Structure 1
Amino acid sequence: MRQKKPAARDSRTARRSEERKATSRRRGLLGLAALAVVTLLAAGLVARGGHGGHGGDGGAEAGSAGTSRTSPSPEAVRTEARGRPSASTGAGKSPKAKPSKSPEMSASPGPGPKSGTGLFTTASASGGLVGHGATVRRYTVQVEGGSGISATEAARQIERVLADPRGWTANGRDSFQLVGSGPHDFEVKIATPDTVDRLCGQAGLDTHGEVNCDVGSQVIVNLKRWLTGSPEFSGPVEEYRALIINHEVGHRIGHGHETCPGAGRPAPAMMQQIYGLKGCAPNAWPYDRNGTYLGGPAVA
């Protein structure tokens, strides 16, 4: 019996050794599992951080003094349907205007090029202050290279729209001034459809080559709409351009969308006339010649 005791002790020693080895293996496996979890978590955090870090970077192509950068901002939602591209003056259909039999009525040119250089020329034209309001907004006019239109000519047309007595200066609060350089509050950019899609798309807007948008400090006008108006607009293209400017600048100075105030009455300039006039007459101006606001009920 005494000869068997060492064997028993050896057996117990062997079992304890195996138990220690098993414990060591379990700890090793647990350590590897923990390391894998930490690695996966770290990878997930890096992926989320990398994606979100580019969300606010909407840089346009640099290359000229007229080129701006866009970024999501309160201005970016002041488009049709609060964040959709502007359809009041585009989207294949556009607001109708009263037919004009004036000899000054001009035929619409072709739609112009689909794409340009992506670089903008700022009109050197400047003008005097228009309006008597205490709030003065200075603006520049910029035209994309390759669009085939004159920046100076476009600037003068826009200046006439904002100076018209039927325009926003009739509210007695807002004044405007065209500037060719220096500090300004917003830019009106006339761009080819592809460039409009790129600039507006940087703010998450889908303009599908057809419509305008209002992004950051920019009113971006689609060249196609500027040149051809819309098949639904029966007046001269110059009147259609007035609707583009009045609607977008209206958003810029704080106006939301409105709807028809009653059958036969002028459609508000802030109405999405493209979706139907609801019995109203087409109209491009926020005020009439007597200074009466041509508004309607607000659209929620």
Structure 2
Amino acid sequence: MHSAKKRKSVRAAHAGTGRGPASRSSHREDRPRARYRALLIAALAVAGLLGSVLVFLNGGTTGASSGAGDAMTRMEVRAPAGTPAGTGTPTRVPDGKPSVTPGGKPHAAPTPGVTKPGTGSAAAGTGRFITAAASGKPVGTGAIRRYKVQVEQGSGVPATTAADEISGILADPRGWTADGHDAFQLVSSGPYDFEIKIATPPTVDRICGAAGLHTHGEVNCDVGDQVIVNLKRWNTGSPEFPGPLHDYRALIINHEVGHRIGHGHEGCPGPGRPAPAMMQQIDGLHGCTANAWPYDSHGTYLGGPPVP
């Protein structure tokens, strides 16, 4: 009797403290869970290590380089002379180097700015272009350069409206026709010398990138027989250029066409004087005042010293 009671009390004590046979069975069931947790923790640690390696291989960031825009404000890139669109290795030219582009040598013009809401600069383009059904008489005297105006489908820019504005810029008496030996004619078909295309930033990156030019969704470029105008710049201008948006558009066209007819970069001629249209005004005015036109209303060339 005493032995039976003693055995019952021992089993009760084990049950109360969790050290009986039932407890040992429970520990055996927990071992697989413990192993699972250990394996899970190890897997997470390995994933974290792989993520760190990928970040290191990407230069410390998993996104695009944060310095891309800054680099484009300090540097102009262009392909070697005579490189057709879509071929060649780009040459990076620091500011201060000449960038004469007769015949359409590719180059990217650094004109970054801030997108303003509601301007359509974030429009989704199709990659296809509409040629403006517009043409005009030659303006200026001398060799005639025929050009087309095209806009990307989905950009929100009417082709004829863009053609009217661009042809007005090239026909302005303050424009390149004032030199007495350059003339331009807007055409919608037939032979032409170059195209002026307004394109969404991704399309600009694709076209310019095919020639080795990195526009980073921000800037314009001149490649082959094409002047590629970034829709973002066309719609928003640049915070570095005060004044009407039309004047900034005039600066884009005059600068790019100026390269096309053989002009290189120029510097500020002196404090308070108009900045040349061939000056990289985005890099700072250096005492000059912002200006979009190569000539003044009296036919005087608004030039500056050649940039060596």
Superposition TM-score tier, normalisation by shorter sequence: 0.5 to 0.7
> Is contact 1:78–1:214 with CA below 8 Å preserved after alignment?
no
Q: Map 1:2-81 to 2 at 5 A.
A: 70-72=85-87
Deviations 1:175-224 (A, max 9, x none): 00000100000000000000000100111111000010000000000000
2:166 alignment partner, SS class: helix
Aligned-residue RMSD, C-alpha: 2.6
TM (norm. structure 1) is 0.67
> Is contact 2:198–2:230 with CA below 8 Å preserved after alignment?
yes
Match of 1:150? 158
Match of 2:224? 216
Match of 2:16? none
Match of 2:202? 194
Structure 2 residue 146 is the aligned partner of structure 1 residue 123? no
Deviations 1:149-179 (A, max 9, x none): 1011100000000000000000000000000
Task: Tell me how far 1:235 sits from its aligned partner.
Answer: 1.1
Spell out structure 1 runs of 4+ moving beyond 3 A.
76-84
Task: Tell me how far 1:236 sits from its aligned partner.
Answer: 1.2
Task: Tell me how far 1:234 sits from its aligned partner.
Answer: 2.2
Match of 2:64? none
Structure 2 residue 296 is the aligned partner of structure 1 residue 288? yes
Q: Map 1:216-295 to 2 at 5 A.
A: 216-295=224-303
2:112 alignment partner, SS class: coil
1:85 alignment partner, SS class: strand
Distance 1:231 1:263 in 2: 21
1:224 alignment partner, SS class: helix
Task: Tell me how far 1:109 sits from its aligned partner.
Answer: 5.5
Task: Tell me how far 1:230 sits from its aligned partner.
Answer: 1.3
* Structure with the larger strand share: 2
Q: How many pairs are equivalent? A: 216
> Is contact 2:269–2:303 with CA below 8 Å preserved after alignment?
yes
Match of 2:186? 178
The amino acid across from 1:183 in the alignment is: P
> Is contact 1:139–1:187 with CA below 8 Å preserved after alignment?
yes
> Is contact 1:286–1:294 with CA below 8 Å preserved after alignment?
yes
Distance 1:111 1:143 in 2: 13
Unpaired segments of 5 or more residues in structure 1? 1-55, 57-68, 94-106
Match of 1:159? 167
Unpaired segments of 5 or more residues in structure 2? 1-79, 100-105
Identity across matched positions, percent: 65
